[in-house]
Structure 1
Amino acid sequence: MNADPHGPFHGPLAHAYACAAHIQVANEAAWNSPGGCSCCTPEQKREGLSEDWGIASPDAWRRQAEALVSEDSNAPATTLLELRMVSSQAVGQPIDAGLWRDAIARMCRQRGLDEAVYQRLIDLAGTILDYEKRFMADGLLPPGAIVPAIKAWDLGRGANMARWGVQCGYADMQTSQWFAMRASEQALRYYTTWWDFSAGYILGRCLHFDQGSFSHWYTTPLEVHHLMMTHPQSPWLNLPFRG
């Protein structure tokens, strides 16, 4: 596992960079590098951000970084996972697929949502359950566990976006590290372990790209997850998620 000898290995900033490990490690870059990835030049990174994110200026970079590390998320999957968590807390135990379906129906009635919206949410809940079942089979989740939130998908990318700002010349180091630290702080609101943070990241990525096909959009971060959970130099084994 690559590490920058001049980068942080302990403390809050190291935790922030560890939140972005999925992308860095997949690119064979140093997980704790303060200045972005080593897989491309600054010119190539600027070109990549322009093509993939529509970012071509410092202002555009800042807007995207702010969006990724913000508290807001209107994704339907976020609504469903929050609903499942609240419903579980209300009865004091995990809820099964049937009770989750009932909770979705009640929410739709209370919000005046029509049958088409209800069906889309039910289908999405089914997709989430399918992923969680596969996650357990592949050792990504312990038996009987669930993914608490998908915010890690934004936060992991946000911590990397912070570093890419330095690499592209769109941000100074102080600004970059502020955004990375913000991603870390947000992660602590949603997750308790590196394990569930990683599962949240992978589920968010899969719901965005994979659409139930279990393609490389799933298998690549799964490989990174297992590496991070087993490599003796992994920050996920040497940094407590909660200090």
Structure 2
Amino acid sequence: MQHLLAGHNIGGDGEAVMAVRMMARQQWGVATVTASQWLDCISQWCRANGVDADKETQCRTVAQRVSRYESRFRADNLIPPDGFVTSLLAYDYGRATNMARWGYVAEYCDQPTAERWIAAVSTAARERFVSWHDFSASYILGRVIRFDGDGYMSYYKRVLDGHRVLTSQSDSPWLHMQF
């Protein structure tokens, strides 16, 4: 559980790459960082932190994949036309919630323990994300980065369909429960 709450399932490279873009936005005082600017920032960040060439290539590859997915997300109205995803951590948080539930059902832990883990996930998610939409975009990006390659196929379609239901159905908890 600690592993998932720390964002280690999706991989540190992905979250580090996302953080580099956020730092550039904040330092430059801009809303958007282009893909080429982001790649330059990653190279600078890698050099400043003693990251070897192979790891830098991996980081740049993750950023390129994220950029391609975000383009698809914009086309599918998952994020606004000028929007971007800030983190990949929602995927790990979703997995942590499932692990707590499965642990309880399989009798690896009692109900209060499972509830404490779920509360910890909820706290971490609310500290990182501002809305159900924000959380959902992060979850979807984390999931497809982890499993879907660049195909936008089965994993993406399933979670996109779920997102659409949860953001559009009048009885959806996402429309009635505060994030």
TM-score (norm 1): 0.69
- Helix, strand or coil for the counterpart of 2:91? helix
Confirm whether residue 194 of structure 1 aligns to residue 132 of structure 2: yes
Cα deviation 1:85-110 (Å, max 9, x = unaligned):
01100011121112111111111211
Alpha carbon RMSD of aligned pairs, Å?
Answer: 1.5
Distance 1:68 1:119, change over 3 A: closer
2-structure distance, mates of 1:70, 1:108: 21
Q: Percent of pairs identical after alignment?
A: 33
2-structure distance, mates of 1:116, 1:127: 17
What is the Cα deviation at residue 183 of structure 1?
A: 0.5
Return the match for 1:87 from 10, 24, 35.
24
Larger RCO, structure (CA 8 Å, separation 6 or more): 1
Contact kept in structure 2, 1:104 and 1:122, CA below 8 Å: yes
Q: How many residues align?
A: 177
What is the Cα deviation at residue 161 of structure 1?
A: 1.5
Cα deviation 1:2-54 (Å, max 9, x = unaligned):
xxxxxxxxxxxxxxxxxxxxxxxxxxxxxxxxxxxxxxxxxxxxxxxxxxxxx
Contact kept in structure 2, 1:150 and 1:204, CA below 8 Å: yes
What is the Cα deviation at residue 69 of structure 1?
A: 2.4
TM-score (norm 2): 0.93
Matches within 5 A, 1:1-243: 65-70=1-6, 74-93=11-30, 94-241=32-179
Contact kept in structure 1, 2:7 and 2:92, CA below 8 Å: no
2-structure distance, mates of 1:71, 1:134: 24
2-structure distance, mates of 1:205, 1:96: 23
Letter in 1 for 2:42: I
Distance 1:83 1:66, change over 3 A: same
In structure 2, stretches of 5+ residues that fail to align are none
Contact kept in structure 2, 1:166 and 1:176, CA below 8 Å: yes
